[in-house]
Structure 1
Amino acid sequence: SPVFEEMAERKEVEAENPAKLLFKRFTPLVIVAALVFAGNGTVGYMTTGGYIQSYASNPDGPVGLARGDVLNAVTLSAFTWMLFTLFAGFISDKIGRRTTYLIGFVLQAIAAAALFPLVNTANLGLLYFALIALTVGLGLTYGQQSAMYAELFPASIRASGVSITYALGSVLGGAFAPMIAAALVEATGSTTAVSIYLVSACVIGFICAFLLKERKGIPLSTDHEDEQASNHFIFSKN
């Protein structure tokens, strides 16, 4: 990036022990920002993690659709997710990262609540509709992610801040989501608990995005570290 090239020309590098400095000064920010991404990942892993494919195509399950039909629906939803991700990146430059997130999480929560009721109809058309509708919110809570993370951290610890926060959000919101969903269905005998789990993740993501101030357009160069290191939350005084 231009900022990285600027730092290289000045022979500047990340702060010594940037991870230690990150957690010493920005632990609340790391947690909140990670939960924003987790709100997206928890719901997204219902498709990318393979749970919907297994659930909807299980011949002994309540849906029992042909596996090929389910995979086609998932593939199409992956394409529409890509389109809405691109749209989110574009629109967030116009209306802001935070506003795009808030709209996205509302739409994502609605689609997540409707996902399993629609899938459980065993109607292929409704499966397509459910998965595509879900990707609207997923795209709007993902496309601006890299820009938002870059705007959160000072240049001297930005690489560590972005990578650690993203990794933490991935673990919290993605890695265990399919396993948790399967365990909830096994424990309760229905998908209602999974729907509650998904909507709860959207609510947490919404709250965390709401807590963050809009930082679109903040200078990213090393000359503005003081500005980059402060004023992250809506309750911040400076």
Structure 2
Amino acid sequence: MSRVAPDVIYALFTVFSITYGTQKLGFERSEVLTAILVGSACQLGLIPLAGAVSDRINRRLVYGVAAVGGVAWSAIFFLVIGGGSLPLLILGVVVGLAFHSFMYGPQAAFVTEQFSVRLRSTGSSLAYTIAGVFGGAMAPLIFVYLLDRTDSWVPIAGYIVIVGAVTLVGLALGRNPDPTEDEHYVLLGQEREKATRAAESEV
């Protein structure tokens, strides 16, 4: 659940913005791609920064604040770019992808922390795959469908509010990391290794 909003918001600013910008606002495709390139370049620094911040502050808090900001900015974005200004388009995409960065940066750690060490690989892999299908994979199709049916960005913003709420529920239901669980697993592994070496020495 927590992965849905980041995927949908990313699809908005990197995929659907091309369709909306060129077909509805008259931007050249190269102009929209330039805005996406600038926003993506900023993410190269922002995603590691977000991960580092989430290591020092409650991970769910950083993720949740970014989710709320990303949802709110998604609506503001359509208002900002409505005048057809390229600098505002670039600004809108950069800010949108900045909010995405502060969800994506903590995401891997948050998802893996939801599973015990024994189930971590399988659980996190399934979570990523399922959320990717219902989030980022379907979002561009839903955006285009809503735009074709209503000729307005308002239903799209409403859809993003819904997925944002889903993500916040997922964050609320998630658990905080338990370092003792990892430490116990490491100690158990060390004990098994010692036992194996002792058995090998007796042979």
1:5 is aligned to none
1:185 is aligned to 147
- For residues 1-238 of structure 1, the aligned pairs below 5 Å read 35-48=1-14, 50-58=15-23, 62-215=24-177, 217=179, 219-220=181-182, 223=185
In structure 2, relative to structure 1, the CA distance for the partners of 1:74 and 1:180 (3 Å cut) is: same
Counterpart residue type for residue 44 of structure 1: Y
Deviation at 1:51, TM superposition (A): 1.4
1:228 is aligned to none
TM-score where L is the length of structure 1: 0.73
Deviation at 1:129, TM superposition (A): 1.4
Distance 2:57 2:89 in 1: 32
- Higher mean alpha-carbon deviation, 124-133 vs 215-224, is at 215-224
Contact 2:81 2:88 in 1 (8 A): yes
- Higher mean alpha-carbon deviation, 77-86 vs 161-170, is at 77-86
Distance 2:74 2:178 in 1: 28
Deviation at 1:76, TM superposition (A): 0.7
Higher-Rg member (1/2) = 2
Contact 1:42 1:198 in 2 (8 A): yes
Identity %: 24
Distance 2:162 2:88 in 1: 23
Deviation at 1:208, TM superposition (A): 1.8
Deviation at 1:221, TM superposition (A): 5.2
Contact 1:36 1:205 in 2 (8 A): yes
Deviation at 1:82, TM superposition (A): 3.1
For 1:190, what is the secondary structure of its paired residue?
coil
Q: Of Structure 1 and Structure 2, which has the larger fraction of its residues in helix? A: 2
TM-score where L is the length of structure 2: 0.85
Contact 1:37 1:166 in 2 (8 A): yes
For structure 1, the 5+ residue unaligned runs are: 1-34, 225-238
Runs of 4+ with deviation above 6 angstroms: none
For structure 2, the 5+ residue unaligned runs are: 187-203
Aligned-residue Cα RMSD (Å) equals 1.9
For 2:2, what is the secondary structure of its paired residue?
helix
For 2:71, what is the secondary structure of its paired residue?
helix
